[in-house]
Chains A and B, each alone.
Chain A
């Protein structure tokens, strides 16, 4: 389970002070598919970065399985990201010099798996996202949708506790977007906890729960009907 307690993030630029997250408190139980929506600048991506331990809040707590990850060392946060969290970014964020398989293998190697075992797990993840026949392709040889699926395979390869997705369909056509969302739904059905930021209301509705943000605050927090 992941919890945000009084989470606040303030950006300062000279004398200007922007409150990106304003004292947010909520929790995401294990196995939930949560979507975060809101207009540009509402703070949804900032929220994702704090929950995903990619950034430090100005104040408040981020608890993963009851452990506050804010005061821990950078090394511990890196290890938590490696072992417990998975990320999917808007622009895929895969390494261009590595093939689809290698991109998926790297976090597994870092976790200590021997190369053959890491490759085996990576292959399973790539097959899972429908890229079994493109494993040895470099990102430049893949379409946008395929690159995003490599990112998903990388995120799920090490079976993380929580997957964070930051507008994963923003750069994809509607057909590919549907496939990506369907992949998330399938993963969630298997018990995967997912936190996804999206602009698309129709995708937001497909999750268990939707938080809508405005000006760094939770405007609404609703459970979606299935």
Chain B
């Protein structure tokens, strides 16, 4: 007679039996069927992570470049109603005392009109070959140390501190790279290395030789004519050393908010605006990022639904074809919950294997690949944004969805009459 009578089927027993059955079902399932399901899971996971990751990465790439080359971790800039930062040398000195300070670059700028064929006699009504931009003044040595801007010279050469009559020109001012023919927005058509251009800032005009063309995907360089700081100060009529902006880099790991607080506490806020990089990014970038994230999530959501349907069908077909064996299990006293758990475990195993392969692909192959070979987008070098926490969250979503997709069809089949299932009626 039974030596263990009336044993209640506890949750742990159901789990134990469910796992026992599931493990053996998966182990002995058709290898190609298993491979196909795992492939679907892997691609769904990649769809979840990579599509939104790349869409966000297009903007993130732009923000990273802005931060790395243009604005640093902290940027001090003139008030909106001022042309320059008052007490700039003092402000720059204070900046150098920020705990975790790494480097800074002081830039001068003014709105400029740039012309190339100003020596030609124009017919009545004819518009000169010109463009509007910013005349950006830098210290070539300091700027190079800060941003390494010389690596963005695609033609010609970088400036030296002696290049008083030479400038670099951003590709967005050149028709060759930015072929825009819209009324009111012109780019220079006849400019190449060695060309003479005339720059007008307010009432001041001067001719410069084009020494290099810059293509950086960073607005501050690509939409500017870049010359020596001394030249820009002269052209903007400044006799002091007051700058337009001071970009500051911090030692990695330094909190930019603490650095900003330090500057404000040191009184810099009286002379200029102090912003962290995140605060200084144009709002439209953040808006695009949000839009892309929504778009990516929508695309991923569709992928998730497709994967759920796939798992639903697989488990349903599996359960239907084993309807008789489900009946037998119930007949010999196996709790229906244990059978249900076995199907949920199966679905979970498929998802887990798919997610593991997907994670390996993301972190070992895809992410490093996009970091080494960013997507060449017109305004940024797109990277793959896949944080560990975000990726695990998506993995969790996929697994929960898969378990639900496995639960529903299994429940439908398991609920059927035991004897009918055994007899195949």
Contact = CB atoms under 8 A, between A and B. Distances in A.
B325 A82 contact: no
B28 interface: yes
Residue of B3, B16, B28, B328 with highest tally of chain A CB at under 10 A: B328
Contacts of B324: 93
A102 interface: yes
A209 B248 CA distance: 100
Residue of A80, A89, A96, A111 with highest tally of chain B CB at under 10 A: A111
Contacts of B335: 75, 78, 82, 110
A81 B332 contact: yes
Contact of B2 (A93, A98, A159): A159
Contact of B17 (A55, A110, A138): A110
A98 B24 contact: yes
A55 B325 CA distance: 17
Given A97-B24, A159-B1, A81 B7 contact: no
A95 interface: yes
Contact of A109 (B16, B29, B419): B16
A154 B331 CA distance: 12
Interface residues of B, number: 34
B189 to A, nearest CB: 75
Contacts of A149: none
Interface in B20-40: 20-21, 24-25, 28-29
B253 to A, nearest CB: 50
A219 B290 CA distance: 81
B28 A83 contact: no
Interface string A138-172: 10000000000000001100111100000000000
A83 B7 CA distance: 8
B230 interface: no
Contacts of A87: 331-332
Interface string B4-24: 111111100100110011001
Interface in A28-72: 49, 54-55
B124 interface: no
Nearest to A84: B2
Nearest to A107: B332
Given A49-B419, A54-B422, A83 B5 contact: yes
A85 interface: yes
B338 interface: yes
A112 B4 contact: yes
Contacts of B241: none
B332 A161 contact: no
A79 interface: yes
A83 B331 contact: no
Contacts of A105: 20
A78 B333 contact: yes
A214 interface: no
Contact of A110 (B1, B5, B6, B338): B338
Residue of A89, A94, A109 with highest tally of chain B CB at under 10 A: A109
A111 B12 CA distance: 11
A154 B332 CA distance: 9
Contacts of A79: 6-9, 333
Given A95-B325, A159-B2, A112 B13 contact: yes
A106 B334 contact: yes
B328 A54 contact: no
Given A54-B422, A89-B422, A95-B328, A82 B334 contact: yes
A97 B28 contact: yes
B336 interface: yes
Residue of B9, B325, B333, B418 with highest tally of chain A CB at under 10 A: B333
Contacts of A95: 325, 328-329
A203 interface: no
B28 to A, nearest CB: 5
A175 to B, nearest CB: 26
A159 B333 contact: no
A111 B28 CA distance: 25
B330 interface: yes
B328 A85 contact: no
Nearest to A102: B24
A40 B271 CA distance: 104
B333 A81 contact: yes
B4 A82 contact: no
Contacts of B21: 98, 106
Contacts of B1: 159, 161, 191
A208 B324 CA distance: 33
Interface string A166-193: 0000000000000000000000000100
Contacts of B13: 109-110, 112
B28 A110 contact: no
Contacts of A161: 1-2
B315 to A, nearest CB: 15
Contacts of B29: 97
Contacts of A160: 2
B360 to A, nearest CB: 29
Nearest to A155: B332
A187 to B, nearest CB: 13
A87 to B, nearest CB: 6
A89 B330 CA distance: 14
24 contacts: A49-B419, A55-B418, A55-B419, A79-B6, A79-B9, A80-B333, A83-B5, A83-B7, A87-B331, A96-B325, A97-B24, A97-B29, A102-B24, A105-B20, A106-B17, A106-B20, A106-B329, A110-B333, A112-B10, A138-B28, A154-B332, A158-B2, A159-B1, A159-B2
Given A79-B333, A94-B328, 16 more contacts: A54-B331, A54-B418, A78-B330, A78-B334, A78-B335, A80-B333, A86-B332, A89-B328, A89-B422, A95-B329, A105-B20, A109-B16, A113-B4, A115-B20, A138-B28, A161-B1
The 10 closest A-B pairs by CB, nearest first: A82-B333, A81-B333, A93-B328, A55-B419, A97-B28, A54-B419, A112-B7, A109-B17, A110-B17, A95-B325
